[in-house]
Amino acid sequence: MSKITKVPPRTIQRVLPHLVEKDLVKETGKVGNTKMYIFNTQSELAEGLRHYIQTAINVNIDCARKQHIPFQVGKKLPHSESIGK
């Protein structure tokens, strides 16, 4: 998980119990001493995150269209063209 997210392992160890408590992540079992987790797509928090991400994507697309900037998936807008600037 640390490699994928580029978040230090210690931070993940510290945050995971909170994500489980908020029902955003579920513990699915153990392999040896390693706990296994899965993202809980059915949680209210997951639904809120999906809505936030979709809205952010749509706002970025709208901003790019208004400024006639070619939009590429996964590419951030230059700082001066970001939302609110």
* 16-65 pLDDT, tens digit each: 999 999 999 999 999 999 899 999 999 999 999 999 999 999 998 888 88
- Do 12 and 2 touch, CB atoms closer than 8 A? yes
Report the pLDDT value the prediction gives residue 79, as an integer from 0 to 100. 55
DSSP 38: E
Task: Check whether 6 has a pLDDT greater than 50.
Answer: yes
pTM: 0.61
The 10 Å Cβ neighbour count of residue 24 is 19
Closest residue by Cα to residue 19 from 5, 58, 74:
5
Asked if 24 and 43 count as a contact pair (C-beta separation under 8 A), the reply is yes
Structure letter (DSSP) for residue 5: H
42 token code pair = 């059915």
- Where in the chain are the domains? 1-40, 42-85
